[in-house]
Structure 1
Amino acid sequence: MWLLSYILPIIRLYLVGVKVLLYQLFNKSFTLPVLPKQNGRVAIVTGGARGMGYETSRHLASLGMHVVIAGNCEEEGMTAVKKIQEEVSVGGVEFMYLDLASLKSIQQFVQRFKDKRLPLHVLVNNAGIMLVPERQTEDGFELHFGLNYLGHFLLTNLLLDPLKKSGRHGACSRVVVMSSATHYGGQLNMKDLQGRSCYCAHGAYSQSKLALVMFTYQLQDMLVAGGHPVTVNAVDPGMVDTALYENLCSPAQLAKKPVAKMLFRTPAEGASTAIYAAASSDLEGVGGCYLYNGRIVESSGISYDENLQAKLWKESCKLVGLPQA
């Protein structure tokens, strides 16, 4: 039984991976259309100093946005800021320290951001880790669940006030949540969200990405019910050649290298749908969607389970210390 619960998530993840690669073999990457200028708008991009996050930050700045790169490595963040400033003259860019594996760091980041008295029009929840060995966050959460999901859950909730105040009907603020096709193989075990009874990095990663999709739908429903001018959409970037794959086992690393050259998307290609979700006029006022390769597609069946969404929200509030409302 233990062996089965360990192996099944691995099989599901790699089957999803094969399906994505076949799609990418026969379909071109989404090409961004010309996007409207974003002068005067402000964005936060988590993990915005490298990979897809950097490409998202760079492109949003080129549209005239003031971009806050939020990350846990100051040297890397300042290097990214310098590169974008050298390339882009219209927007602004700055780095702010944020460790999504620490609830205290998230709270401090939000307070520092609010102290700047800036509006907030776009939040791109991009940062993440994948297939890391069993580890815990500063607050004792399993690392995939704690950083990929809970960290962004708390960050988004704490930033809802500036998002609501900055948006208006016809020009909504936007939350973009980076998920993954691996969520299709994800399972949500409400009795063991931390995966401690039988840890499997593949299952933990898939679960964190499923939780992000369910969070997207639940938050969108709440915002609509409250009449707030904020939209929330989940994005699937496809399989992208980034540092996320550095935790693959050695045989998988060897197999990945030639495949990545032929079939993986570049970070710029992987970021294109997130940029589209953040700035396109086509998605003005549109929320609660799962976007893949520039199109709205269906996410996994379980992700639409409203009872499970509500249970996850309630438990997440409890874990991060937020009121249930």
Structure 2
Amino acid sequence: MSPQSVLVPLFKLYLCGIKVLLYQIFNRSFTLPVLPKQNGRVAIVTGGTRGIGFETARHLASLGMHVIIAGNEREEGAAAVRKIHEEGTEGTAEFVFVDMTSLKSVRHFVRLFRDRGLPLHVLVNNAGTMMVPERQTEDGFEYHLGLNYLSHFLLTNLLLDLLKRSGKPGCCSRIINMSSATHYAGVVDMEDLNRRIQYSSHGAYSQSKLALVLFTYYLQEQLTASSCSVTVNAVDPGMVDTALYDNLWTLVQLLKKPVAKILFRTPAEGASTAVYAAAASEMEGVGGCYLYNGQKTQSAGVSYDSELQAKLWKKSCQLVGLQEA
């Protein structure tokens, strides 16, 4: 592996981080408007046991939603549900196990959910990991690609007909894909999505977050073309002080701790744009957007490449075993 293949993605990713921190120094965190009650609506939040996912689930439940927290830590899940209910929320929360590094587990989760006969109005694809050492998922995918992107690609497609049935004109179902500013540094290598030729944890992470944006735009185009009452948006939470940074190099972690306390967003602040996308009246019928700090923002130029979007969709269908729709 050449030094360049490691250093270039690293430099590009940390440059993105510096730009985000500069923005956060001079701009306040987005403040949520008063949101309408969501009584009777059902949401699934992956990775909802802690961090941004928990704060998203917590807020949606406070609006009256029935929130299913999907995660792979049973004790954390039980604690999250207990905490939400102790707050006297108007809605309800429950934990359902799913291992997002296993396509088999994703399929099992979907079967269990569908068997209950519940509608589905909101899907928040939040679970993720960042900059882990080179490793593969149960299905042999590069870890960032498998967990951050492909598992959510499969989950969304398996639940799409249910989202379509649950949405109505003027009251759309909503899909939220949690991306990151690191997608600006991302390169989707269609010849080596699994990063087996030259591995860089920084490059792999950035690629997975760019893939989510490409997926968002392509799916919204299909939904609009078929006049479905479903919207899909990508959300950038900013730099948030969560466990996602636990895989940073030791030196970077030491430098990060004092900076995070001052400049990083809290998990609740990081969740605000996702909650806005999921529940705000202003977002009714609005899809195909990249949202940052509560605003529609331009994503990376390559994310608007319709040919790349289509190629990635086709390849993703093949990888997760779906017939291309």
TM range (shorter): over 0.9
Output the CA distance in 2 between the equivalents of 1:302 and 1:73: 36
Output the CA distance in 2 between the equivalents of 1:244 and 1:104: 24
Residues matched between the structures, number = 325
Corresponding residue SS for 1:174? strand
Alignment partner of 1:87 is 2:87:
yes
Amino acid at match of 2:186: G
Output the CA distance in 2 between the equivalents of 1:310 and 1:165: 25
5+ residue gaps, structure 1, are none
Amino acid at match of 1:311: K
Amino acid at match of 2:256: K
Q: Is the 8 A contact 1:61 1:88 kept in 2?
A: no
Output the CA distance in 2 between the equivalents of 1:2 and 1:191: 18
* Alignment partner, residue 160 of structure 1: 160
Alignment partner of 1:106 is 2:106:
yes
Corresponding residue SS for 1:16? helix
Alignment partner of 1:96 is 2:106:
no
Q: TM-score, normalised by structure 1?
A: 0.99
* Aligned-pair CA distance for 1:285: 0.2
RMSD: 0.7
Alignment partner of 1:308 is 2:311:
no
* Alignment partner, residue 204 of structure 1: 204
Amino acid at match of 2:4: L
Deviation per residue, 1:140-163 (Å, 9 max, x gap): 000000000000000000000110
* Aligned-pair CA distance for 1:6: 1.4
Alignment partner of 1:243 is 2:272:
no
Q: Equivalent residues in 2 for 1:265-276 (5 A)?
A: 265-276=265-276
Output the CA distance in 2 between the equivalents of 1:249 and 1:139: 27
Amino acid at match of 1:205: Y
Q: Equivalent residues in 2 for 1:38-117 (5 A)?
A: 38-117=38-117
Output the CA distance in 2 between the equivalents of 1:188 and 1:6: 16
Amino acid at match of 1:212: L
Q: TM-score, normalised by structure 2?
A: 0.99
Identity of aligned residues (%): 70
Q: Equivalent residues in 2 for 1:1-16 (5 A)?
A: 2-16=2-16
Deviation per residue, 1:58-117 (Å, 9 max, x gap): 000000000000001111101100110111331011110111110100000000000111
Output the CA distance in 1 between the equivalents of 2:190 and 2:160: 26
Output the CA distance in 1 between the equivalents of 2:322 and 2:39: 34
* Alignment partner, residue 278 of structure 1: 278
Deviation per residue, 1:213-272 (Å, 9 max, x gap): 000000000111111100000000000000000000011011101110110000000000
* Aligned-pair CA distance for 1:287: 0.1
Output the CA distance in 2 between the equivalents of 1:22 and 1:29: 13
Corresponding residue SS for 1:79? helix
Amino acid at match of 1:306: S
Alignment partner of 1:20 is 2:12:
no
* Alignment partner, residue 295 of structure 1: 295
* Alignment partner, residue 179 of structure 2: 179
Q: Is the 8 A contact 1:235 1:292 kept in 2?
A: yes
Amino acid at match of 1:35: L
Deviation per residue, 1:266-303 (Å, 9 max, x gap): 00000000000000000100000000000000000000
Q: Equivalent residues in 2 for 1:121-200 (5 A)?
A: 121-200=121-200
Output the CA distance in 1 between the equivalents of 2:8 and 2:74: 38
Corresponding residue SS for 2:313? helix
* Alignment partner, residue 233 of structure 2: 233
Q: Is the 8 A contact 1:46 1:127 kept in 2?
A: yes
Output the CA distance in 2 between the equivalents of 1:211 and 1:232: 14
Output the CA distance in 2 between the equivalents of 1:14 and 1:216: 24
Amino acid at match of 2:259: V
* Aligned-pair CA distance for 1:324: 1.1
Amino acid at match of 2:63: L
Output the CA distance in 1 between the equivalents of 2:235 and 2:255: 26
Amino acid at match of 2:273: T
Q: Is the 8 A contact 1:43 1:65 kept in 2?
A: yes
Output the CA distance in 1 between the equivalents of 2:2 and 2:157: 36
Output the CA distance in 2 between the equivalents of 1:82 and 1:162: 28
Alignment partner of 1:320 is 2:325:
no
* Alignment partner, residue 29 of structure 1: 29
5+ residue gaps, structure 2, are none
- Deviation beyond 6 Å, 4+ runs, structure 1: none
Corresponding residue SS for 2:175? strand
* Aligned-pair CA distance for 1:122: 0.1
